Homo-oligomer: A and B are copies of this chain.
Amino acid sequence: MKNRIITIGREFGSGGRTIGRMAAQQLGIPCYDQEIIEKLVEKGGFSAEYIKERGELMVSEGWNAVLGRTGGPTRQDQLWVMQKNLILELAEQGPCVIVGRCADFILSHREDVLKVFVRSTMQKRSQRILQVYGQREESAEQRLRIKDHQRAEYYKMYTGHEWGGSRYYDLVLNSAKFSLEACVKTIIDLYQADFD
């Protein structure tokens, strides 16, 4: 069988998004991340900023969905459903890379998906976010801890699984150990290898 889709989960500051874009470029297939946000906006009327902020972050109203509030689906629940449907649709359209957004879970019924998670060390991630996003009021480490917590909570809430847990991925790479190019090459080689 041949793979069609690559999903990339990633720790903030691991370079996972960049790796996804580089892989897509080398393979000549689309990479969805910001695009998902834009398509969602077109379809559902959320502001791009709201989606960017809430799309992968756990927010307090989200818990209500789990804890049995009576007010029906929250704005975040609606967003989850829209993202999910969009990802299912994109996967039908053709080969692509999808970064984040629980795409690995959403596409777990398909066999033609290479599920990747990119992690790194706290030290290398701190260096990278300072380099890419610059200084902020909180320390780099604080920002990473907050993001990790939010992504893990969001993932757990909508998938029931542990974010970054090795059993949910086909390939986990520690980008602190390898160059981005080596990570991209590994992903492409395994994407292109046939499997049973």
Spell out A's residues near B (CB within 8 Å): 114, 117, 119, 164-167, 169-174, 177-179, 182, 185-186, 189-190, 193-196
Contact = CB atoms under 8 A, between A and B. Distances in A.
Q: Is the interface of A mostly helix, strand, loop or mixed?
A: mixed
Q: Tell me how many chains of this kind the complex includes.
A: 2
B114 A166 contact: no
Nearest to A192: B182
10 residue pairs, one from A and one from B, having the closest CB atoms = A172-B172, A166-B166, A170-B174, A170-B177, A166-B172, A182-B193, A164-B166, A177-B195, A186-B186, A178-B195
Nearest to A172: B172
Contact of A170 (B178, B179, B185, B190): B178
A16 B186 CA distance: 18
Contacts of A194: 179
B172 A190 contact: no
A174 B177 contact: no
Contacts of A179: 193-196
A145 to B, nearest CB: 14
